[in-house]
Amino acid sequence: PDVPSCTDCHGSHQQADPELIEQVCNSYVRQTVAGVFFAPLELTEDKDRINQCVITALEAAGIPIVLLDRDIVAFPQRSRFDLVGLDNRRAGFLIADHLIRLGCRRIDFLARPGSAPTVMLRIAGYREALLSAGITPDPQWVHSGEPTDEKFVQRVVAAGATAIVCANDLTAANLMRTLDALGCPVPQKIRVVGFDDVRYAELLRPSLTTIHQPCVDIGTIAMQVMLERIENPAFPPRDILAQPTLIVRQSCGA
């Protein structure tokens, strides 16, 4: 069946084009496609409205939807669509537990404003790891801000951060660059880790400790879920989550 992916129709996260997104969705409707994979928009103020427009248009046309990576509602809420992605809660636990095993007793978490619901799951797992180690997580350890903002990062460092879990690898890469500009070497003064294991993670200096996201497995599973959804529209919605893998490199100090 013809099953396109509505994951790239918005281009840059910061420069989402609602008109283009609407055009793409209308094109799918006109083609009477069998189903659509959709990775909801994040990191833009208008994301909720745009995501809902996409969902409404596809549902009105009776087109099955499988969400990729993240839901359209904030955790712990759950939408009515199948979702295929990483086990983000377990991923958050794994990365924080790794830092704890290295001797960290204070671990901060950094995410950009407007991040996807997956980030809340990663924060939940990070907090569980702290609690499991007998560490009471301080709400002030979780920060929302731009990793390229030197003043913001300086405040985080001044507050006592010694290890920072970043919501994704891009945030971690930008944070390491800012820390370098501030004279805070990684990992000698501050340990930094991320999520996703993007291609350049190993090329960063220092190389980035992160959580590997098995994209090929997620894609394979998503196709199977879509075929089952098309065959059995009355199935209850499912979360099918791929297992994360910890990739240890230099930025954590191990």
Residue 27's Cβ-side half-sphere holds a number of Cα atoms within 13 Å equal to: 12
Q: Tell me how far apart the alpha carbons of residues 98 and 193 are, in angstroms, rounded to a whole number.
A: 10
- Give the model confidence (pLDDT) of 3-28 as tens digits: 555 554 333 344 456 678 778 888 99
Picking from 190, 187, 159, 156, the residue whose alpha carbon sits closest to that of residue 251 is 187
Predicted confidence band at 50 (pLDDT cuts at 50, 70, 90)? confident
Q: Tell me how far apart the alpha carbons of residues 59 and 77 are, in angstroms, rounded to a whole number.
A: 20
- Give the model confidence (pLDDT) of 220-233 as tens digits: 999 999 999 999 99
pTM: 0.87
The type of residue at 54 is V
Q: What is the pLDDT of residue 183?
A: 97
Q: Tell me how far apart the alpha carbons of residues 30 and 185 are, in angstroms, rounded to a whole number.
A: 54
The pLDDT of residue 213 is above 70: yes
